[in-house]
Structure 1
Amino acid sequence: MTTRPATVADLPAIDQVFRTSFCDTFAHLYDPRDLAAFLAGFTPEGWAAEFADPAYAFQVGEAEGAVVGYAKLGPNKLPHVAPGDVIELKQLYLLKEAHGTGIARALIDWVQAEARRRGASRMALSVWSENWRAQAFYKRYGFVDRGPVTFMVGNHPDEDRVWEAAL
């Protein structure tokens, strides 16, 4: 397993990791129409626009030359977090086969280092309120729960929790 900066050529693989991981983890929670509407919001043009924006940063995790995970940083848009030198971990997704391999640790280490390099002293993220595995992972990195936020999947509102950590 290795990590490296993402390239434009990685965007289709990042999209596939996102869709596969999200659906493997959460699809059973939603009406298929809500899931389809949510996923339709992630387009090749959208991924490319974020990738081209210097406010965002992407890192991929690979196994045997294939992208099996990624992390994306960007401007904070979450509530319950004081403004200032804060950055948001927008996404950290892995394929099931990459769980337990150390790739998540490598990606979060990159996330924290990149956030510091960008001048952030704090990081925010959101996690579904019942995603205990992710919450335990982030707690190990010093994240603390700051409060609820509604996360929409189509017309289905979920309760996420906003988490924040000092870097």
Structure 2
Amino acid sequence: MDKRSPIYIRTATKEDAPHITDIGRDVFSRTFGHSLEKQDLEDYLNSEYTIEKIEEVISSPLCQSYVAVDGTEVVGFGKLRKESYEDCIKNLNKPIELWRLYVSISQHGRGIGAQLIDHLENLARNQGYENIWLGVWEENYVAQKVYKRHGYVECGVHPFTMGQCVQNDLILMKKL
């Protein structure tokens, strides 16, 4: 029997920044680390996954940040980002980006990612957005499978640069 608490999702606060930073650094390193030079990985983590950077994102009026919580422990996060575009979605009505949805590695398999996706899609829909889109690494087959199971379809590709390394993200979208 699973004795873990039910997961609930709430708006992120600056107090969550250390937890989001830790999860982001860990998941990003485990997902991408093998495909990057060590210095490129460290430079990227030190530019995107610091407490200060996460606090800045949480405070941004263009970003809505949420955390998944098990009891008192932050076990995942996801964000909606306004006014973010890619060529393949620029003609869609009222799009919003589902940005950086991560779940702690120790919590994989509990459906937390699906809960975050559903929560963020409902928020976007209730705010009047008609389409939601995201970028996912072309070699992250597990995440691609999750998003496609939720109805996302591929509509483009964009380069994702980390130091000297350029990889491709698939752009996936869904009509809300």
Deviation, structure 1 residue 46: 2.4
Q: Is the 8 A contact 1:3 1:103 kept in 2?
A: no
Alignment root-mean-square deviation, CA: 1.3
Which residue is equivalent to 1:85? Answer: 94
Query: Which sections of structure 2, spanning at least 5 residues, go unmatched?
Result: 1-6
CA distance in structure 2 between the aligned counterparts of 1:46 and 1:117, rounded to whole angstroms: 28
Q: Indicate the percent of aligned positions where both proteins have the same amino acid.
A: 33
- Alignment of 1:20 onto 2:26: yes
The letter for the 2-side match of 1:80 is C
In structure 2, distance between residues paired with 1:30 and 1:61: 29
Of 25, 40, 43 in structure 1, the residue corresponding to residue 46 of structure 2 is: 40
Q: Say if 1:36 and 1:154, in contact at 8 Å, map to a contact too.
A: no
Tell me, in whole angstroms, the C-alpha distance in 2 between the residues paired with 1:12 and 1:127. 24
Q: Using the TM superposition, give the Cα deviation of residue 52 of structure 1 relative to its aligned residue in structure 2, in angstroms.
A: 1.4
* Residue range with higher mean Cα deviation, 81-90 or 37-46: 37-46
Match of 2:4 in 1: none
- Deviation for aligned residue 1:54: 2.3
Deviations 1:53-97 (A, max 9, x none): 222111111224211110011022333112440000111001111
Gaps of 5+ in 1: none
Contact 2:76 2:104 in 1 (8 A): yes
- 2:39 matches 1:30: no
Shift in Å at residue 158 of structure 1? Answer: 0.3
CA distance in 1, matches of 2:9, 2:111: 11
Correspondence for 1:137 among 136, 146, 151: 146
**Structure 2 length as normaliser, TM-score?**
0.89
SS at 2:30 equivalent: helix
Return the alpha-carbon distance in structure 2 between the equivalents of residues 78 and 20 of structure 1: 27
Q: What CA distance in whole angstroms lies between the structure 1 residues aligned with 2:85 and 2:160?
A: 12
TM-score, normalised to structure 1, is: 0.94
Which deviates more, 117-126 or 61-70?
Answer: 61-70
Distance 2:170 2:57 in 1: 24
Q: Which amino acid aligns with 2:172?
A: W
> 1-side partners of 2:126 and 2:61: how far apart?
13
Give aligned pairs, total: 167
Contact 1:71 1:89 survives alignment (8 Å): yes
* CA displacement 1:91-145 (0-9 Å, x = unmatched): 1001111111121111011110111122210001001111111111111111110
Moved more, 42-51 or 105-114: 42-51
Write the mapping of 1:8-157 to structure 2, written as runs, cut at 5 A: 8-42=14-48, 43-75=50-82, 76-83=84-91, 84-157=93-166
> Is the Cα contact below 8 Å between 2:31 and 2:140 reproduced in 1?
no
In the aligned structure 1, how far is the partner of 2:21 from the partner of 2:128? 28
